[in-house]
């Protein structure tokens, strides 16, 4: 993988304390500290970069309002310049914004689709596909 992500994906943050080395995925924060970080972010960046190289033009994800998948996917998609569609089940526009991951995704520019239950079939319908 190339670009700004290359170095971040190759290096695992580590810290030496009293002669012992500790892997510090909490310090993996290419988008800045205090936000989304860690090994799940590293994997997501790799997956999105691979999809972009294969010609992807958007990201679609479905998750619980409590899941960091929503915020992480929205932030990474935005960093790659891709529109992100987030499918949320069993909630509505106003009530979903009570959850931090949904608010982060909204700020990152995600487009939300609300369904009764987020299954593959209802998700496809929500996107008109």
CB of 58 within 8 A of CB of 84?
A: yes
| Global confidence as pTM | 0.77
Q: Where are the domains of the chain?
A: 5-126
Q: Has residue 121 got a pLDDT over 70? A: no
Q: How far is CA 49 from the centre of its chain?
A: 12
pLDDT in tens, 71-92: 999 999 998 999 999 999 888 8
Q: What percent of the chain has pLDDT over 90?
A: 47
3-state secondary structure (DSSP) of residue 88: strand
* N residues, the chain: 129
Task: Classify domain 5-126 by CATH number.
Answer: 3.40.50.1100
pLDDT in tens, 96-120: 999 999 999 999 999 999 988 766 6
Q: How far apart are CA 20 and CA 43, in angstroms?
A: 26
């Amino acid at each position: 993988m190339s670009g700004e992500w290359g170095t971040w994906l190759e290096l695992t943050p580590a810290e030496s304390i009293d002669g012992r080395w500790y892997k510090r995925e909490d310090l993996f924060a290419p988008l800045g500290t205090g936000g989304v970080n860690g090994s799940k972010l590293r994997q997501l960046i790799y997956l999105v970069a691979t999809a972009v190289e294969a010609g992807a033009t958007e990201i679609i994800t479905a998750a619980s309002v409590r899941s960091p998948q929503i915020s992480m996917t929205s932030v990474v998609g935005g960093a790659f310049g891709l529109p992100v569609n987030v499918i949320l089940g069993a909630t509505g526009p106003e009530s979903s914004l009570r959850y931090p991951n949904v608010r982060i995704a909204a700020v990152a520019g995600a487009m939300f689709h609300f369904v009764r239950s987020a299954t593959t079939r209802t998700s496809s319908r929500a996107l008109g596909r």
